[in-house]
Structure 1
Amino acid sequence: MRFLALPTLLLFLMSISGSSPAASVESSVWGKTPAGEEVKIFTLKNAKGMEVKITNWGCYIVSLKVADKKGQFADVTLGFDTLEGYLGKNPFFGCIAGRYANRIGGAAFKLDGVEYKVTANSGKHQLHGGKAGFDKKLWTAKDVTDGVELSYTSADGEEGYPGTLKSTVTYTLTEDNGLQISYHATTDKPTVLNLTNHAYFNLAGEGSGDILGHQLTIPTDRITATDDDLIPTGEIASIKGTPLDFTTPHTIGERIGADFKPLVQGIGYDHNYVLSGSGLKLASTVKDPISGRVMTVRTTEPGVQLYTGNHLNGVPGKGGHIYAKRHGFCLETQHYPDSPNHPNFPSVVLRPGETFQSTTIYQFSAE
């Protein structure tokens, strides 16, 4: 089966090496949806003071507070102070994107010889699951050890996708400042699936300005090449030595304005990097030199999308802050964009009797 769980042995080794979850969990009512449904917010906090707030509306990461090199805490994710900001149209600030995260070209794909047309919400294409994707759903929530488990059942035909899909996303906070996101899904008909978290990070603290001075490393020199609409062509392209190559550390702003076709197409970085290896592997390391905060991303997914907030255009955010272009960056662990239309990409097909499982860990430190 192409969907592989994080091995039990690896989980055991993580637990004895100090990576086991160790957080308190509190919940409260945060508001109501326009339909009158009660929305909750969950606060996870570990012994080192790291704190994460999650809501069961769209599985949004509402805030994530970590210490800098002086021990000062700041919220390093962009977002809103109240539920209302997440209920309306927003740039996917920290949600779970699905049923298919990223893009599906032409808002259509074939599965077992049958063509499925999904909702187009980005020109003629689909982006992040359609007009009412997983970010616009109320998930069923329950406390689990050191975290919160969120579940949603997507009906057969929702946004055009086949099969009743049962998805569970679990957020846990570890004692060594890791936010672990675990995904689990089953279906009653063959379908396609790609889930990710769409948090926008600024390690200097949200509202502190742009992220162009952050130092970034991504341990691969390959991407999925795209056309002008950012739809993959099917080619796995080498970016060695180009402005997209982060195999050695570079600041995000160092080459973002280069006259290089992929950067022109994305109006900056908006590219899926092809990761090597299986199991839990390094996807990226980011450091803010001023605060000293470091974020390391590990994942079982085969790709990670780097997006540098190129379309943020004055969004009113937390504390009266206005989020402008490149005030946050995303590292979305995922299967490749438009995979259903490219048989050479890792498969995103989920069939009855199979289980989708995936793990991503955002680890924080300071130096």
Structure 2
Amino acid sequence: MTTLTARPAASFWRDSHPSALLSGLIAVIIGWAGPNVLIYSVAQAAHLSVGTAMSWLWAHAIFTGVTGILLSLRFRMPILSTWSTPGIALLVTALPGIPFPEAVGAFLTSGLLVILLGTFPPLTRALQAIPAPLAAALNAAILLPFGFRALQAFGETPALVGAMIVTYFVLRQVAPRWAVAGVLVTGVLVSAALNLWHPTPAPLALTRPELVLPQFSLHATLNLALPLTLLAFTGQFVPGFGVLKVNGYEPAPGPVLRACGVASVGAAFLGCHNLTLGALLANIVSGPEAHPEPARRYTAAVWAGVFNIAVGLFAGTVLHLLGILPAQALAALAGLALLAAMGSSLQGAFQGMQAGSLAAPVVLLVALSGVSLLGIGAAFWGILAGLVVHAVETRTKAA
């Protein structure tokens, strides 16, 4: 695998391509149709106002958009920033009962902790030392459930999803750059033809952020700040750097961690939790469908940042529009957009290890199992288990 390093500044417009713009748009659509709508679960569980939830989404979109653009242009690599999805899952149960200003104080504390982690050299060296086949296995485990969900969607609406699947594989043969675009267009047209969507007027209105003055408490620090920091690291940064490594990119972890930490601090004042390195969606902007030339795929991440900012400004309107498209179409779009990344990750996981090694299969199985111990998700335990097996195999062979 060829590792790309930062290269001299080049013209963004010269490096960009319509497929890069489209990949950035697809990444944002999938992100907003999936994890972003989960914020409503948090808002309902904690009895937050609609304005607070919209401010949360606004801060996430604007700060991650700016962070992704700056990091991608600096390193000339497709670095996507997003919020901590595992953190949202935690907040559904942990946030109720904690006053929101104290929660914001915990978000701020967590952002400062991430900045400190980014200045700790042993930690950044550990991230860089993860063997590429194990990172590929972890990435495959993250991606495969989206393929499974696409197949489940086919069982629910075979005509719609079947048309999208046929479109994808036909275009992969004649115009591979436009395969995902064709899937999106087919999904919209077939949904309309089968009367599977219900378009209604969507008011075009700017979303207004709300400033929240943080308060600090030991209870919120222990129950929110520390778990959120751990989940951001184990659930987003570790697999996020793994995705980049699989696709041939190895940015210095320290600056990425510090940039995400600084963005998290700023977003916290508007009610948003940790902003991290993208993992799942990063595959869309870092794979061959984003741009035929790896050195120019950074432009796809820049476009994703631009679209994220634009969408964030009109968060309420965009969420309304996404609700028009059936869930099965969105599931099929995500699964097909990530199919090539699934194949390359599986290939990298099993071709890169020595014959008979079980390290990559262990990563895959544990990460796919969904097991959660000590409040830490399966992705972390999967890579940890794989590293242990890899170390034992290496020591046994050396002996």
Q: Normalization by structure 1: what TM-score?
A: 0.28
Rg larger for: 2
The structure, 1 or 2, with the larger RCO (C-alpha pairs under 8 Å, 6+ apart) is 2
Higher fraction of helix = 2
Higher fraction of strand = 1
Q: Normalization by structure 2: what TM-score?
A: 0.26
